[in-house]
Chain A
Amino acid sequence: MASAVKSKRGEFGSPRLPAKELDMLSIASGATPKAGLDYQALVTRRLFFLLIIFCVLLVVVVLDVLVGPAFLPFGDVLSVFTGPDASVSPTTRVIVHEIRLPMTLMSMIVGASLGIAGLQMQTILGNPLASPYTLGFSAAAGFGAAACILFGFQLPFLEHLTIPVVAFLSAGLACAMVYGFAYIKGNTAEVMILAGIATLFLFQSLQSLVQYMAAPEVLQEIVFWLFGSMLKASWFSITVSGSILAFSVILILPDLWKLTALRLGDDRAQSLGVNVRLIRFKIFAIVSLLTAGAVSFVGTIGFVGLVAPHMARMLVGEDQRLLLPASAGMGALVMVSASMGSKLINPGAVIPIGIVTAVIGVPFLFILLLKSKRSFW
């Protein structure tokens, strides 16, 4: 009995110091303790994982550009970037420049945007199931696009941008609904989640209604948009979505430690000097912008925003200085891998990427879950 008690006490801190040696004044003294390598080693390991994510991403990006339904020889594709102009046929050049490269870059941007949006949604709501998809933003964008297609609505002077603009505005409307409701009820995470789930069901129902009303040929167009496809990518969409991504990251950067502190709960974060209401509002607005920017051009894409942050968290922990780039990198990695998969599963055709993301991403997540020894949420 005595030994059992002794071993249990040893778990807390061994060996125990006599209370008289607990001199808190030395906290401020800056005296250098010898045993400090443990945490530094952990940080080094996490930086290594971050580097690995981006190295793998780079490889996958190159492979994604190399493969496609046109079955272009790899050498010809590489020549577009490295060789003299005359050595590459104009068709190859057009395919690579106007189709493959935009698809790959858009996959990266959308994946990174959704990775960051999902991460910050989970952070401000303190909920591992939160993502732009589960809170209805993507469903709202889908409804806007579907309604546009059904009613043939076109914006004056911006006909070719009608669907992205309306999808963007619909996602913004959903965010405003969720936040407006949460604001009235005290801006707590629980209310935001409930309002988000209600919004998801509302816009999914409206989507179904639009689909029910649509003629078969229009329905096909709607369904194709809702699946999400990188075939809609263009240099214009890359510029817009990329700018939104860069702008959002710049806005988030000053608050990385505050977002890290939010993981300790509202009370503790507020006690540490975080204006919880303000940062929740700010990040919510940024997430709305990021999500709308990502899905309005390429269609509804779920899963990435939910799991990319979890995968990143397992590798680099919860310090947002590492977690933010890791989530972006992991989101991009899953999306570009899915883009490659969408071209390889059925050679000669491109399957909508929204269908492939979960097929590619779930094995990633399961492998990490099995390998991870630490809890990650």
Chain B
Amino acid sequence: MLHVDHLAVGYNGANVVEHINLRLDRGEVTALIGPNGSGKSTLLRGIAGILPRQGEVCLETDGNRVSDDKQFAYMPQDTYSASSLTVLEVVLLGRLQSLGLRVPVTMIEAALNALRNFNLLHLQSRSLSELSGGQRQIVYLIQALFRETAVLLLDEPTGALDLYYQLAVLEAVAEYTRRSRVITIMAMHDLTLALRFASRVICLHEGGIVADGSPREVLSRSLVQSVYQVDADIIDTQDGFRCVVPTRSLRDEARQAVGPLNAPEITGSGL
């Protein structure tokens, strides 16, 4: 179990998130949702130990609590890279602590296998800078999984992916989390995907937790309205999935609130 007690994280002495207390179970995928600037990335970076933090973050194993940042694999949301490292080298770096002047053949084979599982074996010797943003995002995800840490912290893991790979990646992460008994926290903007793949949803707003529970409990019309200021319906599909569907455009809402908008109309020629 991951224990987060009285956590506060910020920049230059000013806290962005604070009063964070969490208990997260192994085998559980937690979606961290909230509007832009609510502190999702900051919280993940604080838990990972990348940003200085106050409070305690520790893992409980067999009744023993241990604070060890090496047990956290953090995947930033930014996929840009100018590096010409090859894809296989990037995956190998996931086990940086075990790499020496000679890389064991078994480790190279395991890295190749990881690439093959995501259908990227053919990119093994391509340089990172030559990949698309989506390809880089999957490579970074493979690197995070290749580390085999107890906790996965994924910041917008599907932000650059097409629909097929959004599903493929999240299904793989959910399956890996369940079968390997790791703890996964994913910062997500896509509420429908959060409903579908997370076993727990935590909503951050203005640096604090405003809702925490099962996806069906947390993701309600009122929460979406109060946190995102968007009117949305929560719809159950025939296949048993739930979707968050905005019901009105922001323009309609703004008109209703302040009268006709003065912003110029965007026409085809204007684009």
| Partner pick for B99 among A11, A21, A22, A257, CB 8 A cutoff | A257
| Partner pick for B81 among A31, A42, A264, A271, CB 8 A cutoff | A264
| Partner pick for B175 among A23, A258, A318, CB 8 A cutoff | A23
Per the bound structure, the CA–CA distance linking A9 and B132 in Å amounts to 12
Interface residues on A, range: 35 or more
- Indicate if A261 sits at the interface (CB-CB under 8 A): yes
A39 to chain B, nearest CB (A): 5
Report whether B88 and A39 are in contact in the complex, using a CB–CB cutoff of 8 Å: yes
User: Using Cβ atoms and an 8 Å threshold, which residues of chain A touch B250?
Assistant: none
Report whether B85 and A317 are in contact in the complex, using a CB–CB cutoff of 8 Å: yes
Report whether B73 and A317 are in contact in the complex, using a CB–CB cutoff of 8 Å: no
Q: Specify the chain B residue showing the minimal Cβ separation from A266.
A: B50
Q: Specify the chain A residue showing the minimal Cβ separation from B123.
A: A13
User: Using Cβ atoms and an 8 Å threshold, which residues of chain B touch A274?
Assistant: 96
A45 to chain B, nearest CB (A): 10
Report whether B171 and A264 are in contact in the complex, using a CB–CB cutoff of 8 Å: no
Residues 228-254 of A, flagged 1 when their CB comes within 8 A of B and 0 if not, give 000000000000000000000000010
With A13-B120, A271-B74 as known contacts, state yes or no: A19 contacts B45, CB within 8 Å: no
A49 to chain B, nearest CB (A): 14
B241 to chain A, nearest CB (A): 15
User: Using Cβ atoms and an 8 Å threshold, which residues of chain A touch B203?
Assistant: none
Q: Specify the chain A residue showing the minimal Cβ separation from B70.
A: A273
User: Using Cβ atoms and an 8 Å threshold, which residues of chain A touch B112?
Assistant: 33, 35-36, 39
Binds A, one of B16-24, B160-168, B217-225: B160-168
Binds B, one of A143-151, A351-359, A369-377: A369-377
User: Using Cβ atoms and an 8 Å threshold, which residues of chain B touch A374?
Assistant: 84, 127, 130
Chain B contact residue count (CB 8 A cutoff): 69
Report whether B93 and A28 are in contact in the complex, using a CB–CB cutoff of 8 Å: no
Q: Specify the chain B residue showing the minimal Cβ separation from A375.
A: B129
A-B contact count (CB 8 A): 169
Per the bound structure, the CA–CA distance linking A32 and B149 in Å amounts to 22
Residues 247-288 of A, flagged 1 when their CB comes within 8 A of B and 0 if not, give 000000100111011011101101111100000000000000
Report whether B72 and A271 are in contact in the complex, using a CB–CB cutoff of 8 Å: yes
- Indicate if B64 sits at the interface (CB-CB under 8 A): no
A105 to chain B, nearest CB (A): 27
User: Using Cβ atoms and an 8 Å threshold, which residues of chain A touch B75?
Assistant: 271
| Partner pick for A30 among B76, B81, B109, CB 8 A cutoff | B109
A47 to chain B, nearest CB (A): 13
Per the bound structure, the CA–CA distance linking A269 and B119 in Å amounts to 25
A266 to chain B, nearest CB (A): 9
Per the bound structure, the CA–CA distance linking A25 and B117 in Å amounts to 9
Residues 288-331 of A, flagged 1 when their CB comes within 8 A of B and 0 if not, give 00000000000000000000000001000111010000000000
Give chain A interface residues in 70-108, CB to chain B under 8 Å.
none
Per the bound structure, the CA–CA distance linking A264 and B87 in Å amounts to 12
Seen from chain A, the residues whose Cβ lies within 8 Å of a Cβ on chain B are: 9, 11-17, 19-33, 35-36, 38-42, 253, 256-258, 260-261, 263-265, 267-268, 270-274, 313, 317-319, 321, 374-377
> What are 13 inter-chain pairs, A to B, with CB distance below 8 A?
A12-B132, A27-B110, A27-B148, A28-B148, A29-B110, A33-B109, A36-B112, A39-B86, A39-B124, A42-B125, A268-B76, A375-B84, A377-B84
8 cross-chain pairs, A with B, having the tightest CB-CB distances, nearest first: A13-B119, A24-B176, A271-B74, A22-B172, A263-B83, A42-B125, A27-B114, A19-B168
